Amino acid sequence: MKLVLDRTLPVSLRSQLHGLIEYGISCGDLAPGETLPSVRDLADRLGVAPMTVAQVYNALKAAGLVETRPGAGTFVSNRQPTPTQPTGDMSELYRQIDALLDQSRKIGMRKADLMALVSARSSRSPEPTSRQQHILMIGLFAEATGSYAGFIADRLGPGVTVEPLTIATLENDAALRARAATADLAVTIMSRQQQVEALLPQTRVVSIRFTPSQETRQALAALDSLARIAAVSRFPEFLPILKSGVMRFAPHVAEVFAETIDNPSLMTTVSQATVLVFATGAESILAEVAPDMPRIEYRHAPDIADIERIIAPALASPNDAPTRPANEIDDAAGFSPHQSHPTQTNLSLKENMR
């Protein structure tokens, strides 16, 4: 991921750098285990003080998003569960596999065809369970979290129910926390995993990535090249990600201006724009603009690969304890990608995902 600070934004360089790395991790642009530049190298590259980079790295480390290895550098934390290891005597299984291989050779089946057949049969034979499994999808915004829960439930099938909850409701409702503690699994965003673990210490918690939704990308790509875009975020740290995302998916649009929801110059910027792009959490801007002004909600959707790679295996091994980096600090900190449920009007952008 190329880290670029935008000095035209009404956001401090420190907040921009923090947001770029944090959202880069949460959205999959920075992979687990990826090496980050040294403090001095990144400071020289960005033209900022080394202290600024060091402060950002320390904050990200406190949030469990990066880890420092003495003599090796700073890396994106790998917070995912360790793959389940089989237990018990494997000799009988090996004997049956050998017999299957022998039988496939006798009937002239190629190894590749046998592997494909086993894979197909396995996909049609879900893990046996004596009850409906219960997952929590824990996010920041109720409507968006509900859409993620529905998306995940559709991918996992009828044997699983996915209940949406927000961090705020868990923090403020002890009875709800007690009930949530009985869930088989809690799913959240990478930058909020520590906070959710602190709220639900007896529940297994995993985090997944969120990527800009296909509908958002398509809506931005379809804009007229003469459009003037006002991109609005509630969170200052998300503003550089929002602006760069808009420019990435609408590279043909030359005029993109970005503001935070509480910036005094916000309405001046919006009044000069022809299209509004708003991040989840900044919906209040809709009451301030003309009802016929085209608007696009910049939203994310759960990464399908992470549902298959992280959530499904975690459900298949419910007794495994969650694994966390040994040097992870337990402070609950950070913020989360701006997930959203569309309120698109003029550009026909409405669905059940954010």
Residue 49 belongs to domain spanning = 13-76
HEC profile for the chain? CCCCCCCCCCCCHHHHHHHHHHHHHHCCCCCCCCEECCHHHHHHHHCCCHHHHHHHHHHHHHCCCEEEECCCEEEECCCCCCCCCCCCCCHHHHHHHHHHHHHHHHCCCCHHHHHHHHHHHHHCCCCCCCCCEEEEEEECCHHHHHHHHHHHHHHHCCCEEEEEEEHHHHHHCHHHHHHHCCCCEEEEEHHHHHHHHHHCCCCCEEEECEEECHHHHHHHHCCCCCCEEEEEECCHHHHHHHHHHHHHHCCCCCEEEEEECCCCCHHHHHHCCCEEEEECCCHHHHHHCCCCCCEEEECEEECHHHHHHHHHHHHHCCCCCCCCCCCCCCCCCCCCCCCCCCCCCCCCCCCCCC
pLDDT at 130: 56
Phi/psi region, residue 108 (left: phi>0; alpha: psi -120 to 50; beta: rest), is left
Do 221 and 279 reside in the same domain of the chain? yes
C-alpha–C-alpha distance, residues 238 and 181, integer Å: 31
**Residue 106 in domain:** yes
User: pLDDT tens-digit profile of 186-205?
Assistant: 999 988 999 999 999 999 99
The parts of the chain modelled with pLDDT lower than 70 are 79-89, 119-130, 318-354
Number of domains in the chain: 4
Residues 309 and 198 in one domain: yes
| 181 in the same domain as 35 | no
Whether residue 253 sits in one domain with residue 108: no
How crowded is residue 284: how many other Cβ atoms within 10 Å of its Cβ? Answer: 12
Residue 258 sits in a domain of what CATH number? Answer: 3.40.50.1860
Is residue 306 a part of any domain in this protein? yes
Can you state the angle between helices 13-26 and 239-249, rounded to 10 degrees?
A: 60
CATH number at residue 152: 3.40.50.2300
Sort strands 185-189 and 205-208 into parallel, antiparallel or unpaired: parallel
Flag whether 348 is in a domain: no
Residue 70 lies in a domain: yes
Same domain, 156 and 43: no
Single residue among 247, 269, 298 that ends a domain in this structure = 298
* 286 and 257 part of one domain: yes
4 closest CA partner among 34, 48, 38, 39: 48
CB-CB contact of 270 with 276 (8 Å): yes
Same-domain pairing of 264 and 226: yes
Which position has the token pair 């790679």?
Answer: 309
For the entire predicted model, the pTM comes to 0.70
The upper half-sphere exposure of residue 61, i.e. CA atoms within 13 Å in the direction of its Cβ, equals 15
- Residue 342 inside a domain? The answer is no
Mean pLDDT over all residues of the chain?
Answer: 83
